[in-house]
Amino acid sequence: MTKVIGLTGGIGSGKTTIANFFKEMGVPVYIADDEAKKVMQSESIVKEIKTAFGGELFENYILNRAKLAEIVFNNAAELAKLNAIVHPAVKKDFEIWLLKQKKYQYVVYEAAILFESGRYKDCDVIVTVTAPEEIRIERVLKRDNTTREQVLSRMKMQWNDEKRISLSNFVINNSNLKIAKEEVVKILKILNIKQNQS
Binding residues: 12-17
User: H helices within the chain, ranges in order?
Assistant: 15-24, 32-39, 43-53, 65-72, 76-99, 133-143, 148-157, 161-166, 177-197
Amino acid residing at 84:
A
Q: Are the beta carbons of 129 and 187 closer than 8 angstroms?
A: no
Q: Give the integer Cα–Cα distance in Å for 22 and 5.
A: 10
Cα-Cα end-to-end distance for the chain: 12
Pairing of strands 125-130, 106-110: unpaired
Instruction: Tell me the binding residues for ATP.
Output: 12-17
Supply angle C-alpha 158, 162, 31, rounded to 5: 50
Q: Are the beta carbons of 17 and 177 closer than 8 angstroms?
A: yes
